Amino acid sequence: MRKSLILFLTPAIALGGCAHRTSTPDEFAVARNAPLVIPPDYTLTPPVAGTVTSTPEDSQQQAIEALFGGPAPRPPSETLLLDEAGRDRAALGARSVAGDPATNVIDMGATTQAIIAAPASDSDVASAQVP
């Protein structure tokens, strides 16, 4: 009897699990994606062999002009200030030699030059001999 009870209950339990249904997704509740849009035609033509292409310098200059709009006119006050400062007398390579140790850009005076030329020391007290 016990054997028949197990043979009867095992399929009943197995089939009973099939009767319990979970909720299935509703196919009508799914949102649809927007259709793909073809981008506008910009009428770009492929490059032709033998024609002149822009160099990287030209591309960089075009990018600067696109970002900043090209050279802007200076106000009269700024022009006057630059003229008084001597912009027409400045050396063309002044920025490249400004950090050179052999270049005296400004007159620092003897005390400042002695402090800069002082040898390195491990002492806690700083000292410099001024001539």
Identify the sign of the CA torsion 73, 78, 81, 87: negative
- A 10 A CB-CB count for 112 gives 13
Give the pTM.
0.25
The whole-chain average pLDDT of the chain stands at 76
pLDDT tens per residue, range 29-44:
777 788 888 777 777 7
Please check whether residue 129 is in contact with residue 114, taking contact to mean a CB–CB distance below 8 angstroms: yes
DSSP 8-state code for residue 79: H
Record the tokens describing residue 56, joined without a space.
């990287």
Six-digit token string for 112: 């400042």
Could you read off the pLDDT of 26-82 as tens digits, one per residue? 777 777 788 888 777 777 777 788 777 767 677 888 888 888 876 778 889 998 998
Contacts for 61-68 with beta carbons within 8 Å, 24 or more apart?
none
For the chain, the structural domain boundaries read 56-87
Give the integer Cα–Cα distance in Å for 107 and 9: 107
